[in-house]
Each structure stands twice: as structure tokens, then as C-alpha cells.
Amino acid sequence: MNNIDTSQYQIEREPYYLKVADEVELFQAAYDARMPVMLKGPTGCGKTRFVEYMAWKLRRPLITVACNEDMTASDLIGRYLLDVNGTRWQDGPLTTAARIGAICYLDEVVEARQDTTVVIHPLTDHRRTLPLDKKGEVVTAHPDFHLVISYNPGYQSLMKDLKQSTKQRFGALDFNYPAADIEARVVRHETGIDEVIAGKLVQIAHRARNLKGHGLDEGISTRLLVYAGQLIAKGVDPVAACRMTLVRPLTDDPDMRDTLDAAVNTFLG
């Protein structure tokens, strides 16, 4: 028995998610097989929104962990805490998810050190167990428990990559910025701006995405297009809105800023 309040992890309202291809069916099938899933794709393209949507659709609680390089295995699994009565074990988010049958979403998992990442191994093969070594307990995952990880393939270096023995425990789905018509619908839905201006924002993004690898590390994300639309919906001049949200966050290089500002002017000036 556990006395964890699972309602805090339950997604009550349907998150807005526009299907891009067959990702919903594929994720559903992977979930049915309890096959761990890896979402790969650039920043701001819809990975987190997709997981929230799938958790809602599958009616599973969702526990998200933002991974970073300072994270230790204890941050995932749990640790002993000191309180007035002595020591008390506190489950980490991965342990909680395994106990209650949640979807555990480890965001940007390559950021974590490899010795941290390996703790998911016994959970992601036929064993479906999580040993809590310090506590002397082996947690058997709830039948509904599911593990999802994300990463941005653009960022990782040789030092920061998942081990093959980690990678090969997952089915993987590629994410990218949605096709122009779908992306424009997303921006309209999220911001309320009209079709014409949403279309122009997407066209600006397409121009900038062509510069990835030619002076830009990343293209303009769907998230930034939503930001631009939010400012425009508040009455901000579209060119100023785009400079603030589509150009300035992306680069400090003066030439690249000029190039992007020019693209904004082409479509909105």
C-alpha cells in the first residue's frame, strides 16, 4: 500500500495537441506494450506537450523530471532525510512513478551523468524493478508504469551521449517543427491571431531554420512563434514583436541579427 496523493499528477483537462503524423498511435502501441519511449527533437517543437496529451489520453498520472548534470541517482530514486524523529526515507520521483503507475518523463536526459542514467536500466527491461540499494528494498513497478525520456540530438557531444545500453532500451520517435499548415494552426490556437499573420510567422521561421548550421545553432522554435503571436495579440507591432521573440533570443551575432531582421521585414514590414 502507498499513501501517495496521485491526483496531483493527474492531468484533468485535455491539453491542446495537434497530431503531426502517426505519433499518437505509435506511442499508444508502445504504451500498450510497456515499451519505454524516447522523444528526440529540437527545443520547442512539442515534445512536452505531446507527453502531457498522451498522459491525459491514457488517463495516467504524469511525473516530469528536468534532468541536469548535477543530478545524482538519489535525486531520481530517493534518500534518507533527517527529521525530529530521526531518519525517514523519501521516495524520489522515479520511485514514486514506479509505485503509482505513472508515466515518468525524464526531460533532457543526456544532461544527466551516465552513472545516474543507468539506474533506469532494471526498470526498462523485463525486470521492471527499481532497487533502492540504500533502503534495502526492490520496488516492482506498477503494471501501468511507463518511462519516457526526451533529448535534443543537436546538443549532445561525444562526452554527453547516452550509452548504447541505455539507448537500446527504448523505442524512439523523431519530433520536428510541424509542417507549415499545422504549425500555423497551432500558433493561431495558442494566441488567437489571424490566419494571415500566423502564416507569415511560420514563413519567417522557415527562413531562419534554413540558417541552422550556417551561423545558427537552432532554428526558430514553435514555442517562439507562439511567443510572437502572444505579443501581437496584445497589440504589439508585429515587427517589434518578432524582433523581441524570434530574433533577439536566438543569436547575439550582429550580422545574423541583421539577416533575421531583414527576413522579418520581408514578410511583415
Ligand X SMILES: Nc1ncnc2c1ncn2[C@@H]1O[C@H](COP(=O)(O)OP(=O)(O)OP(=O)(O)O)[C@@H](O)[C@H]1O
Whole-number minimum distance, CB 235 to ligand X, in Å?
Answer: 20
The span from the CA of 135 to the CA of 118, in Å, is 18
* Among the residue ranges 13-21, 55-63, 196-204, 255-263, the one whose residues contact ligand X (CB under 6 A): 13-21
Task: Count the site residues for Mg ion by CB under 5 A.
Answer: 1
**Where are the extended beta strands (E) located within the chain?**
37-40, 62-66, 78-83, 86-91, 103-107, 129-132, 137-140, 146-151, 171-174
Nearer to ligand X, 38 or 100 (CB): 38
Whole-number minimum distance, CB 107 to Mg ion, in Å?
Answer: 5
Interstrand relation of 146-151 and 137-140 (parallel, antiparallel or unpaired): unpaired
Told to check if 16 binds ligand X by CB under 6 A, we report: yes
152 binds, among ligand X, Mg ion, none (CB under 5 to 8 A by kind): ligand X
What are the angstrom distances between the C-alpha of 229 and each of 13, 74, 244?
23, 41, 11
* Among the residue ranges 46-54, 83-91, 153-161, 195-203, the one whose residues contact ligand X (CB under 6 A): 46-54
Nearer to ligand X, 100 or 204 (CB): 204
Determine which residue in the list 96, 152, 245, 251 makes contact with ligand X, applying CB under 6 A. Answer: 152
Told to check if 17 binds ligand X by CB under 6 A, we report: yes
The span from the CA of 75 to the CA of 117, in Å, is 11
Q: Are 249 and 241 in contact (CB under 8 A)?
A: no
Q: Which residue has the cell 551521449?
A: 161
Nearer to ligand X, 54 or 77 (CB): 54
Q: Which of 197, 207, 187 is nearest to 247 (CA)?
A: 207
Told to check if 230 binds Mg ion by CB under 5 A, we report: no
Nearer to Mg ion, 45 or 141 (CB): 45
DSSP, collapsed to helix, strand or coil, labels residue 133 as coil
Nearer to ligand X, 5 or 181 (CB): 181
C-alpha grid cell, residue 261 = 531582421
Residues 96-125 that bind ligand X (CB under 6 A): none
The span from the CA of 75 to the CA of 147, in Å, is 16
Q: Calculate the CA 41 to chain-centre distance.
A: 9
Told to check if 145 binds ligand X by CB under 6 A, we report: no
Q: Are 220 and 208 in contact (CB under 8 A)?
A: yes
Determine which residue in the list 6, 10, 28, 48 makes contact with Mg ion, applying CB under 5 A. Answer: 48
Among all residues, whose Cβ is closest to ligand X?
A: 46
The span from the CA of 226 to the CA of 246, in Å, is 10
Told to check if 45 binds ligand X by CB under 6 A, we report: yes
Told to check if 224 binds ligand X by CB under 6 A, we report: no
45 binds, among ligand X, Mg ion, none (CB under 5 to 8 A by kind): ligand X
20 binds, among ligand X, Mg ion, none (CB under 5 to 8 A by kind): ligand X
C-alpha grid cell, residue 30 = 508502445
Residues that bind ligand X (CB under 6 A): 16-18, 20, 41, 43-49, 152, 178, 186, 190, 222-223, 226
Residues that bind Mg ion (CB under 5 A): 48
